[in-house]
């Protein structure tokens, strides 16, 4: 029989069996913002295993999980029964109230990462309300070729790059920094300003070198497209900040992002990645239809990510 205890820190000997996301990782959050942090773990002390975890960044009496990141929220092990999850979150709330928190916001992972049914049902029982339902697009990585799942209009774009000798490769060290600058410049030229400056990306990458990867597509020694990818965990990667060449119009016909996504999918398949996350498609808080269509034409499937909020009673 399990003997669960709420813990704020983990022993190095404690085995983690919940599915982890980098946005909740203690080391990652420590470099992401300077807000007050709280971590809560649900540990079965009989076998020294952590079955659940939630991390908060706290400001203005509000606990965010996460704060200004794609998602975080409750991380859960398969097999945790509803009453134990309910007790875990109840104890987390009581601790937060004692520490002066009045509002909790949880931005849960898309259901393509992990089934959210149990978490959602438990949050409803505890009095949480949904405040946002975001649409992500993800690609399930498996033995089938992504090309076979693409719309026929994307086949032509891929074939053109492949025919003329386009090369996909990971960029490291100095090339990685140069790619950050290239991405920022080309996104600004395309009136799609990046969510992080190249300086911020460089600093984040230096602090978390295993989290940020950069890939590029080259033709005639020119970089036609690039992306910054975030390693969410050992089974998922996020196609975070893509950009295509804007300066040289003669290369525009190639539409190299289709080739990049296809080759990134192949990289995922070779590295044990099961989910390629294409992210959301919002511009000014509204879904951009053309971006949704492109992601679905390249094999992306829509999935939902719910955000929850509760005002705590003291």
The fraction of the chain above a pLDDT of 90, given in percent, is: 83
Written as six digits, the tokens of 168 are 């996909």
Q: Return d(Cα 212, Cα 231) in angstroms, integer.
A: 6
Three-state SS at 306: strand
Average pLDDT of every residue of the chain: 94
Give 70's pLDDT tier (boundaries 50, 70, 90). very high
Contact yes or no for 28/22 (Cβ under 8 A): yes
CA proximity to 28, closest of 70, 63, 88: 70
Give 255's pLDDT tier (boundaries 50, 70, 90). confident
Residue 283's pLDDT is 83
Written as six digits, the tokens of 135 are 């649409």
What's the mean pLDDT in 270-274?
Answer: 97
Angle at 246 between CA 244 and CA 247, to 5 degrees: 140
Lowest mean pLDDT among 16-30, 133-147, 154-168, 191-205: 191-205
Give 167's pLDDT tier (boundaries 50, 70, 90). very high
Residue 308's pLDDT is 98
CA proximity to 88, closest of 123, 36, 56: 123
The fraction of the chain above a pLDDT of 70, given in percent, is: 100
Residue 258's pLDDT is 96
Summarize pLDDT for 26-64 with one digit per residue, the tens: 989 988 889 999 999 999 999 999 999 999 999 999 999
**Terminal Cα distance for the chain, rounded:** 32
Query: Helix 152-163 crosses helix 256-270 at what angle (to 10 degrees)?
Result: 90
Q: Return d(Cα 237, Cα 215) in angstroms, integer.
A: 12
Residue 92's pLDDT is 98
Strands 4-7 and 167-171: unpaired
Q: Return d(Cα 282, Cα 285) in angstroms, integer.
A: 5
Give 313's pLDDT tier (boundaries 50, 70, 90). confident
* Peptide bond preceding 217 in cis form (omega within 30 of 0): no
Q: Return d(Cα 32, Cα 197) in angstroms, integer.
A: 14
Give 194's pLDDT tier (boundaries 50, 70, 90). confident
Give 187's pLDDT tier (boundaries 50, 70, 90). very high
Exposed (0-12), middle (13-18) or buried (19+): which is 127, by Cβ within 10 Å?
A: exposed
Residue 22's pLDDT is 96
State pTM to two decimals.
Answer: 0.94
Summarize pLDDT for 91-132 with one digit per residue, the tens: 999 999 999 999 999 999 999 999 999 999 999 999 999 999
Residue 36's pLDDT is 95
CA proximity to 114, closest of 23, 19, 24, 40: 19
Q: Inform me whether the pLDDT recorded for 251 exceeds 90.
A: no
Domains and CATH numbers, the chain: 4-134+305-311 (3.40.630.30), 142-273 (3.40.630.30)
Q: Return d(Cα 111, Cα 305) in angstroms, integer.
A: 6
Angle at 96 between CA 92 and CA 97, to 5 degrees: 120
Residue 191's pLDDT is 87
């Amino acid at each position: 029989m399990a003997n669960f205890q709420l813990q704020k820190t983990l022993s190095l000997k404690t085995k983690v069996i919940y599915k982890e996301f980098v946005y909740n990782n203690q080391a990652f959050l420590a470099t992401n913002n300077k807000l007050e942090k709280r971590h809560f773990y649900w540990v079965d002390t009989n076998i020294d295993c952590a079955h659940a975890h939630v991390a908060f960044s706290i400001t203005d009496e509000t606990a965010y999980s996460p704060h200004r990141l794609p998602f975080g929220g409750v991380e859960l092990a398969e097999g945790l029964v509803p009453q134990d999850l309910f007790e875990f979150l109840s104890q987390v709330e009581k601790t937060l109230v004692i520490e002066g928190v009045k509002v909790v916001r949880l931005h849960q992972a898309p259901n393509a990462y992990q089934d959210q049914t149990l978490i959602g049902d438990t949050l409803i029982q505890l009095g949480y309300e949904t405040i946002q339902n975001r649409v992500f697009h993800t690609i399930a990585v498996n033995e089938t070729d992504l090309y076979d799942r693409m719309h026929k209009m994307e086949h032509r774009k891929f074939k053109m790059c492949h025919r003329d000798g386009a090369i996909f490769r990971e960029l490291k060290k100095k090339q990685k920094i140069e790619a950050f600058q290239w991405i920022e410049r080309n996104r600004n030229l395309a009136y799609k300003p990046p969510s992080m400056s190249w300086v911020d990306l460089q600093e984040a990458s230096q602090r978390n070198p295993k989290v940020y990867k950069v890939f590029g597509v080259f033709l005639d020694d020119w970089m036609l497209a690039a992306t910054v990818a975030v390693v969410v965990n050992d089974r998922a990667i996020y196609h975070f900040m893509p950009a295509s060449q804007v300066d040289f119009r003669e290369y525009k016909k190639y539409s190299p992002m289709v080739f990049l996504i296809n080759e990134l999918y192949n990289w995922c398949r070779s590295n044990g990645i099961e989910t390629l996350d294409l992210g959301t498609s919002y511009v000014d808080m509204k879904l951009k239809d053309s971006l949704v269509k492109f992601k679905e034409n390249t094999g992306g499937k829509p999935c939902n990510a719910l955000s929850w909020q509760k005002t705590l009673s003291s």
